[in-house]
Amino acid sequence: MPYANNSAELPSETNGGRYDAVSMSGGNEESLPADGTATAPDGEQHTGSGLRAERSRRSAQIDDIRAAGGEPYPYRFDRTDSLSEIRSRHSDLEAGSETDDRVSVAGRLMLARDSGKLIFLTIRDRSDEIQLFVSKSVIGDDGFANVKSLDLGDWVGVTGDVMTTRKGELSVRVTECQLLSKAVRPLPDKWHGLSDVDTRFRQRYADLIVNDDARRHFEIRHAIISSFRQTLAGEGFIEVETPVLHVEAGGAHARPFVTHHNTLDMQLYLRIALELHLKRLIVGGMERVFEIGRIFRNEGISTRHNPEFTMMELYQAFADWTDVMDITERLITHAARDAIGSTTLPIRGEDVDLANPWPRIRMIDAASEAIGTEIHPSMPRDALADIATKNDVKVAPQWLPGKIIEEIFEAHCEPDIVRPTFITGHPVDISPLSRVHRDDPFLTERFELFVDGRELANGYSELNDPVEQRARFEDEQSAKEAGDLERGTVDEDYLRALEYGMPPTGGLGIGMDRVAMLIAGVDSIREVVLFPTLRPEVMTDES
């Protein structure tokens, strides 16, 4: 019902519940006096740099709360509703209305304005924000004083009735307010975000507090992974978990992290792929399996690479690479729709609809067209090396013909791919786990998916002939011994598994971080990895 007697308490403008980020008791570092002093509630001044002084003031406030018999870090708070639930329930509430809906809500204090006998606060929980309407006549002198002593960043729990201001801002008229966690450190930058990129990623907890985009990126990532699981479950796949510690570092070309098991006194590797254990399960008759798991590769760090990242790998019995390409399209298209409500993404100024069919182009055709010279892995290695050198591609002495072709493709084709495109038919010597192409013995039934110049997925018709697999492994071992540290070794247990018989199988690996980058519209993997790998921080008093 509309307000009556208390309407004089409502300001004429509430600015939609968003006010200047001003703490009622000093709060943000930028609001400190120029001399770096801060005054505690007991009147004592704490000197020093801005951050040190502010932390000292807030710490003194904690001592005062405890001295008065209070607890700045209580054990629990009984919340009745999330903030989004309140907004959903009262989305049509008229301006200037009050309700009998009494709620208990909790959140971090983000914004505040003190208008004398009224204080307006904005709190945020995981789901939403809402305004708190604090009247001295309702909460009492002591309660009002306690609210005034709060700092931005504090966690609070309040009880009150849902209402709207005269401007229509949904609010909670507070009757009780409890401090749930005192923030000793002030929020950064008056919540315009952290300006230093390295600090954003290093202090992700602070980034998530003040950066709406950061929270959105990880909500999208969650929705993508959830969508993958739902799609795969709907197609009869079973989710499994396989070992992180491997005796052999196989399944990909990458340098592993090495560790040691003390009890067994043996060297182990953090996994560089999920592949070989999942295919053992196909041998065991599980037919359709997938895993979403962490992978570790001892490689460089860039906007596309983090030493630990998340992969989804699936294996489907009685299928080949064409089936796997189809499911790749379904997985990513469904994920975009589930995460952002659309299959259309802006990429390099183009609106790209993932629902359109994705082109399938052979690697040798794309590379040949790009350099204007036909190339094929059947050509003599020296001839391919000369072609590569003439096209500004440096060739290492241990590279075989297929590796040279791959490097030409990476230099002259990969950066220019904008729309989702399957690059197919990789040479045999760079595809040790893929079946030879049924129409060309120098190529394999393998594909990679590229979007916006980035590889997102890799899949193939799986090699299931144990004799040929051993020969491929031995080639890998020879290349490794010749100096290519990313090559694999001979995995005898996997070969034994193949000897029991693996049915025709299609396999797929998708980089979940890169899919999240694509759908969230960001250019760095660090934007979608909560805690990316960084150099150790040198801590100081002002850190």
Q: Are 174 and 158 in contact (CB under 8 A)?
A: yes
Answer yes or no: is 452 within a domain. Answer: no
Q: Do 108 and 224 lie in a common domain?
A: no
Answer yes or no: is 492 within a domain. Answer: no
Q: Do 158 and 243 lie in a common domain?
A: no
Amino acid, res. 373: T
Question: CB pairs under 8 A, 24+ apart, for 194-201?
Answer: 198/534, 201/526, 201/531, 201/532, 201/534
| Cα distance between residue 205 and residue 41, in whole Å | 28
Q: Do 325 and 378 lie in a common domain?
A: no
| Cα distance between residue 136 and residue 255, in whole Å | 65
| Cα distance between residue 54 and residue 534, in whole Å | 28
Q: Which of 485, 532, 531 is nearest to 305 (CA)?
A: 532
Q: What is the pLDDT of residue 191?
A: 41
Q: What is the pLDDT of residue 445?
A: 98
Q: Do 148 and 266 lie in a common domain?
A: no
Q: Do 42 and 176 lie in a common domain?
A: yes
Q: Do 263 and 348 lie in a common domain?
A: yes
| Cα distance between residue 186 and residue 59, in whole Å | 12
Q: Do 366 and 310 lie in a common domain?
A: no
Q: What is the pLDDT of residue 37?
A: 39
List, for the chain, all residue ranges whose pLDDT scores fall below the cut of 50: 1-23, 25-48, 190-192
Q: Do 320 and 366 lie in a common domain?
A: no
Answer yes or no: is 495 within a domain. Answer: no
Answer yes or no: is 456 within a domain. Answer: no
Q: Do 369 and 326 lie in a common domain?
A: no
Q: Are 420 and 325 in contact (CB under 8 A)?
A: no
Dump strand ranges (E) for 382-504.
421-424, 436-437, 440-444, 446-451, 454-461
Q: What is the pLDDT of residue 489?
A: 86
Whether the model clears a pTM of 0.95, i.e. scores above it, the answer is no
Answer yes or no: is 112 within a domain. Answer: yes
How buried is 419 (Cβ within 10 angstroms: 0-12 exposed, 13-18 middle, 19+ buried)? Answer: middle
Answer yes or no: is 449 within a domain. Answer: no
- Neighbouring C-beta atoms of residue 244, cutoff 10 Å: 14
Q: Do 178 and 288 lie in a common domain?
A: no
Q: What is the CATH number of the domain that holds 125?
A: 2.40.50.140
The torsion angle over the Cα atoms of residues 27, 30, 35 and 40, rounded to 10 degrees, is 0
Q: Do 46 and 171 lie in a common domain?
A: yes
Answer yes or no: is 26 within a domain. Answer: yes
Tokens of 538: 């040198």
Q: What is the pLDDT of residue 24?
A: 53
Q: What is the CATH number of the domain that holds 270?
A: 3.30.930.10
Q: Which domain holds residue 308?
A: 218-357+503-531
Tokens of 257: 């992290």
- Reduced to 3 states (helix: H, G, I; strand: E, B; else coil), residue 89 is helix
Q: How many structural domains does the chain have?
A: 3
Q: Do 273 and 399 lie in a common domain?
A: no
